[in-house]
C-alpha cells in the first residue's frame, strides 16, 4: 500500500522537475546565441554598403514582368558607352535587371554620366557603378592647354567688341582734352590760373570716367563698370584721409585765390611773420621778411590765421611817448609838438596828428604823440626816429625839462649821520645856473644815420626778384600794380 502511494507521488513530481530543467536549458541556449546573432547583424549591414569607388542606384519603379532581357540591356549600354569614346576598358554586366559598370573614365563627370545613362535605360532595376576615374599625371598639361584654348576662343569672339571699346576710349580721351582746353579758354579772363586749371581737370576727369563706363558696357563687363564707379568714390575717400594735409593746403590755395587777401609785393604780417609777399603756390605762401630771409607758411595756416596787410591802406599810424617835468606847461608843450608835426614833410595832415596826455608818472607828465604817414613812400621807423630827435631839440630850445624818473632809496636799518666842524666859516654863495647848451637854430629833418625817410619795400622787392624762390610751382596771385 505504501509502495503504491509512493509511486503515485513520484508520478506527480516528475513533470515539474522536467519543466524546470527545460526552462533553464532554454535560457542558457539563448544566452549563447545572442552574441552570434549580434555579430551576424553588422555583417549583413556591411554587405549592404558598397565598397569604396562603387556607387549604387535603384529604379523608382520595378516591373514584375520586364520587357527587355538582360542581354539586350547589356548590348545597348555597351554600344552607347563605346560610341562616346570617353571610357577605356568598359565592361557592362546585367543580372536580373541590375547593371554592373566597370572600366575607366577620364573625369568624375564622365563616370556620373554613365551611371545616369544606365539608370534611365528601360527595365533597369538598379545600377552598380564601378567605373574608376583615371588619375592624371602631374606632367599632364592638357587641362592648362584646354583653358588656354578656351581663353583664345573667347578672345577671338570678343575681339570686335574690344576694338570698339578702344575706339570709344580714344574718343573719350580726345573729348576730355578738348573740354579741358575749351574750359581754360572760356575762363581765361574771368578766373586766375589755379581755378582755371582745377575746373579744366575736373571736367576732363568726368568725361574720362563716362568714357571708361561706356567702354566696359560695350565690352560686356557691366558688373565691372559698376565696380569701377563705386571704387572711384571709395578711392577718393581713402585718398582724402591719407593726404588730408596736402588736400587742405590745396583747397586753402583755391580759397586764397578767390578771396585775394593780399597780392604779390604786399607787406603783410601772418602768424607773427612780417614780410613782402613773394610767391603763392598750391602748397604755401612765401614771404621775404625785413631781414631779407624767405619764410614759407602753409596755405592752410595762412587761410585760418589773422592777416595784417600794411599795403592795402598806404596810410599808416605810428606813436611814441615823451615825458616832461611837472613844472612845465602842458598845453605849451603840446602846441610845440603839433607845430613840429605840421612842418614835417613825412607826416600827413589828414588824418590829423594828435598829442595827448597819456599818464602822470612819478616824476614826469607823459605825452603820447600819434602821427600818420604814407607807408608806400616812407619808412615808419625812420620817420619815428626823426620826430623823436626833433621833439627833443624843440624842448631844449624852449626850456622844457625832460627829467628822468625819480628813484627813492630806502635804508631799512637807518644811516648814521656825523656832523663835521670846520674852523673857518664859508659864506654861502649863490649857484649860478649854467645856460643850456647852444642848439643849432635849424636841424635837418633826416640824418645820414637814419638813411633817409624813404620806404624799403622797393628794396625788398628788388631783392626778391634777384633771389631764388624756394617754393617751386605756378604763382597763383597777381602782382601788385605799381603806383
Which tens digit of pLDDT belongs to each residue from 84-109? 888 888 899 999 889 999 998 888 88
Higher pLDDT, 213 or 14: 213
Mean pLDDT is lowest, of 28-32, 212-216, 285-289, 312-316, for 28-32
Flag whether pLDDT at 463 surpasses 90. no
Cell 596755405 identifies what position?
299
Query: Model confidence at 224, in pLDDT bands (50, 70, 90)?
Result: low
Higher pLDDT, 111 or 224: 111
pLDDT of residue 409: 61
pLDDT of residue 366: 94
pLDDT of residue 66: 66
Query: Model confidence at 121, in pLDDT bands (50, 70, 90)?
Result: confident
Q: HEC states along the chain?
A: CHHHHHHHHHHHHHHHHHHHHHHHHHHHHHHHHHHHHHHHHHHHHHHHCCCCCCEEEECCCCCCCCCCCHHHHHHHHHHHHHHHCCEEEEEEEEECCEEEEEEEECCHHHHHHHHHHHHHCCCCCEEEEEEEECCCCCCCCHHHHHHHHHHHHHHHHHHHHHHHHHHHHHHHHHHHHHHHHHHHHHCCCCCCHHHHHHHHHHHHHHHHHHHHHHHHHHHCCHHHHHHHHHHHHHHHHHHHHHCHHHHHHHHHHHHHHHHCCCCECCEEEECCEEEEEEEECCCEEEEEECCCCEEEEEHHHHHHCCEEECCCCCEEEEEEEEEEECCCCHHHHHHHHHHHHHHCCCECCCCCCEEEEEEECCCEEEEEEEEEEECCCECHHHHHHHHHHHHHHHHHHCCCCCCCCCCCCCCCCCCCCCCCCCCCCCCCCCCCCCCCCCCCCCCCCCCCCCCCCECCHHHHHHHHHHCCCCCCCCCCCCECCCC
The answer to whether the CB of 385 falls within 8 A of the CB of 307 is no
Grid cell of 477 as nine digits: 596771385
pLDDT of residue 152: 86
Nearest to 453 by CA among 331, 346, 299: 346
Average pLDDT, stretch 398-424?
Answer: 70
Q: Which segments within 115-220 are labelled E, that is strand?
A: 126-133
Q: Does the fold of domain 314-403 match that of domain 141-250?
A: no
pLDDT of residue 51: 60
Nearest to 260 by CA among 185, 333, 194: 194
∠40-46-50 over CA atoms, to 5°?
155
Higher pLDDT, 249 or 412: 249
CATH code at 141-250: 1.10.287.1260
pLDDT of residue 414: 66
DSSP 358: E
Top CATH class, 70-133: alpha beta
Choose which CATH entry (3.10.20.30, 2.40.50.140, 3.40.50.150, 3.30.70.100) describes domain 314-403: 3.30.70.100
Q: What residue spans define the domains of the chain?
A: 70-133, 141-250, 266-311+460-466, 314-403
pLDDT per residue as tens digits for the range 170-214: 898 899 898 888 888 887 766 667 777 778 888 888 888 888 888
DSSP 426: -
Query: Model confidence at 61, in pLDDT bands (50, 70, 90)?
Result: low
261: Cβ–Cβ under 8 A, 6 or more apart, which residues? 307, 309
pLDDT per residue as tens digits for the range 231-288: 666 666 666 676 777 888 888 888 888 788 888 888 899 988 988 888 888 888 988 8
Grid cell of 454 as nine digits: 624813404
Residue 386: CB atoms within 10 A of its CB come to 23
d(Cα 440, Cα 224) in Å, to the nearest integer? 93
pLDDT of residue 421: 61
d(Cα 88, Cα 132) in Å, to the nearest integer? 10
Higher pLDDT, 478 or 100: 100
pLDDT of residue 145: 83
d(Cα 120, Cα 110) in Å, to the nearest integer? 15
∠358-375-262 over CA atoms, to 5°?
115
User: What is the value of pTM for the model shown?
Assistant: 0.49
DSSP codes of every residue in 60-92: SS--SS-SS-HHHHHHHHHHHHHHHT-EEEEEE
Average pLDDT, stretch 136-157?
Answer: 79
pLDDT of residue 141: 75
Mean pLDDT is lowest, of 45-54, 105-114, 400-409, 428-437, for 428-437
474: Cβ–Cβ under 8 A, 6 or more apart, which residues? 193, 194, 281, 282
pLDDT of residue 62: 55
Assign a CATH topology to domain 266-311+460-466. Answer: SH3 type barrels. (2.30.30)
Report the chain's mean pLDDT, rounded to a whole number.
77
pLDDT of residue 10: 43
Average pLDDT, stretch 6-13?
Answer: 43
pLDDT of residue 415: 64
Q: HEC states along 285-300?
A: EEEEECCCCEEEEEHH
Grid cell of 376 as nine digits: 608806400
Higher pLDDT, 63 or 412: 412
Average pLDDT, stretch 58-82?
Answer: 77
Flag whether pLDDT at 357 surpasses 90. yes
Q: Which helix (H) or strand (E) holds 108?
A: helix 108-120
Mean pLDDT is lowest, of 24-28, 70-74, 165-169, 197-201, for 24-28
Query: Model confidence at 387, in pLDDT bands (50, 70, 90)?
Result: very high
Average pLDDT, stretch 384-404?
Answer: 92
pLDDT of residue 333: 94
pLDDT of residue 33: 42
Cell 580721351 identifies what position?
173
Amino acid at each position: 500500500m505504501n509502495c503504491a502511494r509512493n509511486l503515485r507521488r513520484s508520478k506527480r513530481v516528475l513533470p515539474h522537475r522536467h519543466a524546470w530543467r527545460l526552462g533553464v536549458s532554454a535560457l542558457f541556449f539563448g544566452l549563447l546565441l545572442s552574441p552570434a546573432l549580434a555579430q551576424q547583424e553588422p555583417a549583413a549591414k556591411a554587405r549592404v554598403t558598397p565598397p569604396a569607388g562603387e556607387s549604387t542606384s535603384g529604379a523608382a519603379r520595378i516591373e514584375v514582368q520586364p520587357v527587355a532581357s538582360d542581354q539586350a540591356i547589356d548590348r545597348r549600354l555597351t554600344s552607347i558607352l563605346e560610341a562616346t569614346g570617353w571610357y577605356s576598358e568598359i565592361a557592362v554586366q546585367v543580372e536580373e535587371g541590375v547593371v554592373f559598370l566597370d572600366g575607366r573614365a577620364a573625369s568624375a563627370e564622365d563616370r556620373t554620366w554613365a551611371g545616369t545613362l544606365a539608370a534611365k535605360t528601360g527595365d533597369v532595376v538598379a545600377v552598380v557603378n564601378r567605373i574608376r576615374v583615371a588619375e592624371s599625371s602631374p606632367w599632364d598639361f592638357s587641362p592648362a592647354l584646354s583653358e588656354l584654348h578656351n581663353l583664345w576662343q573667347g578672345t577671338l569672339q570678343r575681339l570686335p567688341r574690344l576694338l570698339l571699346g578702344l575706339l570709344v576710349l580714344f574718343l573719350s580721351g580726345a573729348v576730355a582734352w578738348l573740354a579741358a582746353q575749351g574750359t581754360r579758354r572760356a575762363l581765361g579772363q574771368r578766373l586766375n590760373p589755379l581755378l582755371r586749371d582745377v575746373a579744366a581737370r575736373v571736367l576732363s576727369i568726368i568725361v574720362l570716367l563716362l568714357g571708361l563706363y561706356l567702354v566696359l558696357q560695350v565690352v560686356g563687363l557691366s558688373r565691372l563698370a559698376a565696380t569701377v564707379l563705386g571704387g572711384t568714390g571709395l578711392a577718393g575717400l581713402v585718398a582724402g584721409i591719407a593726404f588730408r594735409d596736402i588736400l587742405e593746403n590745396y583747397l586753402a590755395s583755391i580759397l586764397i585765390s578767390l578771396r585775394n587777401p593780399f597780392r604779390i609785393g604786399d607787406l603783410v604780417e601772418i602768424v607773427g611773420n612780417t614780410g613782402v609777399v613773394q610767391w603763392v603756390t598750391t602748397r604755401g605762401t612765401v614771404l621775404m621778411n625785413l631781414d631779407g630771409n624767405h619764410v614759407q607758411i602753409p596755405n592752410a595756416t595762412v587761410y585760418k590765421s589773422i592777416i595784417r596787410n600794411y599795403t592795402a591802406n598806404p596810410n599808416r599810424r605810428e606813436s611814441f611817448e615823451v615825458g616832461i617835468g611837472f613844472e612845465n606847461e602842458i598845453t605849451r608843450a603840446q602846441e610845440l609838438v603839433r607845430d613840429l608835426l605840421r612842418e614835417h614833410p613825412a607826416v600827413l595832415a589828414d588824418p590829423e596828428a594828435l598829442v595827448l596826455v597819456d599818464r602822470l608818472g612819478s616824476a614826469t607828465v607823459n605825452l603820447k604823440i600819434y602821427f600818420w604817414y604814407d607807408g608806400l613812400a616812407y619808412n615808419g621807423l625812420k620817420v619815428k626816429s626823426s620826430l623823436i630827435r626833433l621833439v627833443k631839440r624843440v624842448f631844449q630850445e624852449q626850456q622844457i625839462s625832460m627829467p628822468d624818473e625819480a628813484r627813492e632809496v630806502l635804508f631799512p636799518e637807518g644811516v648814521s649821520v656825523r656832523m663835521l666842524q670846520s674852523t673857518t666859516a664859508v659864506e654861502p654863495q649863490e649857484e649860478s645856473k649854467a645856460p643850456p647848451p647852444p642848439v643849432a637854430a635849424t636841424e635837418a629833418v633826416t640824418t645820414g644815420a637814419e638813411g633817409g625817410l624813404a620806404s624799403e619795400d622797393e628794396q625788398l622787392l628788388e631783392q626778391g626778384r634777384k633771389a631764388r624762390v624756394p617754393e617751386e610751382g605756378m604763382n597763383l596771385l597777381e602782382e601788385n600794380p605799381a603806383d
